[in-house]
């Protein structure tokens, strides 16, 4: 059984053309890799309103591929798949509380559509009698210890829905757990079951760094499913660019920025952050915004402190006077400048914590 697992395209009316191109690319990858079907694990649309507006274009795209696309409701598009919503002859919408597709491949595909205040534990009894290995798809939060760090971060953006706990999965014949909802990027585990979040198929926020991916899944019933990430080449993505600002090396910082932009992938959009000190914060900000205009990234995040206030610190001023950079030879000057840079950024971290 071979299929493509994608999630979280979040089609919006305002960005439909670019996002529909991403959907076309996903279908092309499914075709090129001889997938038996495409499984979309929730939030194909950003809202039910967007689904109503974009459905004709989506239907046209899905109809262009002659194999099934399974659409599972997520928290953003939970009401987008009524019996009157036409997504084309090859589209299969999961509408039942526990929707079982028996004839898509060698093993059953079980979809658990998102419902408010519903949890995976509510579905255990309905899953327990099914013979596996099963492919189970749901749109929610899988609480695994190795993912808790980024789960906490992502909750700020996408919230916490449809909880799945490791104990919920015990005793069930699950060969592959296809998840959607969290956008960060491709994340896979084999414990307690083989499971994957492919990440958002199109970046929704600038916090979703790195190329976008889908998962090619091969399940043969003789062990763990084989899961291969496939990058969506041609889909835009965000790349972080972190810069440190010091009053005496502003031009060097911009030269560093130019090097980052020169090496930027053609599909990447820069997410620029600047920390440190500046004598003219407004001027630096305007210069940055002029340079980044038209590159597709968000406004630069700038967190700067007033250098004149730092010079009021007795210890720092004594350090600056003591190293006497101008009188040093070339090697000593380089060491002194590096020491000054380190201690200056150290003070910026202290000031940040005191805010």
Tell me which of 29-38, 53-62, 246-255 is least confident: 246-255
Question: Residue 335 above 70 pLDDT?
Answer: no
Q: Say if CB 278 and CB 249 are below 8 A apart.
A: no
Please report the pLDDT score of residue 202 as a whole number: 97
pLDDT of residue 327: 53
Q: 314: how many CB neighbours lie within 10 A of its CB?
A: 8
Question: For position 331, what pLDDT does the model report?
Answer: 61
Average pLDDT, the chain: 89
What is d(CA 319, CA 98) in angstroms, rounded to the nearest whole number? 68
Residue 353 has pLDDT above 70, yes or no: no
Q: Is 346 a residue whose pLDDT tops 80? A: no
Q: Looking at residues 177-200, what average pLDDT do you find?
A: 94
Percent of the chain topping pLDDT 70: 88
Of residues 342 and 133, the one with the higher pLDDT is 133
pLDDT top residue among 16 and 231: 231
Check pLDDT > 70 for residue 323.
Answer: no
pLDDT at 326 (0 to 100): 53
| Range with the poorest average pLDDT among 58-62, 199-203, 330-334, 346-350 | 330-334
Residues 95 and 80 sit within 8 Å (Cβ to Cβ): no
Question: Would you state the pLDDT for residue 242?
Answer: 95
pLDDT exceeds cutoff 80 at 121: yes
For residue 161, the model assigns a pLDDT of: 87
Q: What is the pLDDT of residues 205-244, one digit of tens each?
A: 998 999 999 999 999 877 679 999 999 999 999 999 999 8
- Residue 333, pLDDT score: 55
95 in Cβ contact with 135 (< 8 Å): no
Rounded to two decimals, the pTM is: 0.86
pLDDT digit string (tens) for 171-186?
999 999 999 999 999 9
**Pick from 212-221, 263-272, 327-336: least confident:** 327-336
The whole-angstrom separation of Cα 133 and Cα 109 is 9
Residues 6+ apart with CB under 8 A from 337: 325
Give the tens place of pLDDT for each residue, 67-81: 999 999 999 999 999
Residue 293 phi, psi (nearest 5): -60, 130
Inter-residue contact 50 to 87 (CB < 8 Å): no
At 320 the pLDDT is: 67
pLDDT score recorded for residue 345? 66
Q: Which residue has the higher pLDDT, 148 or 57?
A: 57
Cα gap 15→112, rounded to integer Å: 28
Per-residue pLDDT at 246: 82
- pLDDT at position 56 is 97
Distance CA(74)–CA(178), nearest Å, equals 13
Give the pLDDT confidence score for residue 4 in this predicted structure.
Answer: 98
């Amino acid at each position: 059984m071979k299929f493509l697992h994608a999630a979280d395209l979040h089609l919006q009316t305002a960005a439909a053309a670019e996002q529909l191109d991403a959907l076309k690319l996903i279908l092309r990858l499914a075709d090129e890799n001889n997938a038996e079907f495409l499984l979309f694990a929730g939030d194909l649309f950003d809202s039910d309103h967007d689904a109503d507006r974009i459905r004709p274009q989506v239907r046209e795209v899905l109809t262009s591929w002659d194999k099934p696309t399974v659409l599972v409701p997520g928290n953003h598009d939970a009401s987008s798949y009524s019996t009157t919503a036409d997504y084309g002859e090859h589209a299969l919408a999961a509408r039942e509380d526990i929707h079982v597709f028996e004839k898509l491949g060698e093993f059953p595909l079980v979809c658990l559509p998102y419902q408010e205040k519903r949890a995976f534990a509510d579905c255990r009894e309905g899953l327990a009698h099914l013979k596996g290995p099963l492919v189970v798809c749901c749109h929610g939060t899988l609480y695994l210890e190795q993912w808790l760090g980024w789960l906490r971060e992502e909750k700020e953006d996408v919230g916490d829905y449809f909880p799945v706990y490791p104990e919920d999965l015990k005793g069930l014949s699950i060969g592959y757990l296809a998840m959607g909802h969290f956008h960060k990027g491709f994340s896979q585990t084999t414990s307690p079951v083989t499971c994957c979040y492919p990440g958002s198929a199109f970046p929704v926020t600038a916090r979703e760094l790195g190329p976008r991916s889908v998962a090619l899944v091969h399940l043969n019933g003789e062990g763990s499913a084989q899961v291969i990430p496939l990058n969506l080449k041609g889909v835009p993505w965000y790349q972080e660019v972190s810069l440190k600002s010091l009053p005496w090396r502003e031009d060097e910082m911009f030269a560093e920025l130019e090097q980052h932009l020169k090496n930027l992938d053609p599909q990447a959009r820069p997410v620029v952050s600047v920390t440190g000190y500046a004598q003219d914060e407004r001027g630096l900000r305007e210069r940055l915004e002029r340079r980044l205009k038209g590159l597709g990234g968000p406004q630069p995040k700038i967190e700067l402190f007033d250098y004149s206030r730092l010079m009021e610190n007795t210890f720092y001023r004594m350090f600056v006077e003591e190293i006497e950079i101008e009188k040093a030879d070339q090697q000593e000057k380089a060491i002194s400048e590096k020491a000054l840079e380190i201690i200056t950024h150290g003070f910026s971290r202290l000031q940040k914590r005191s805010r």
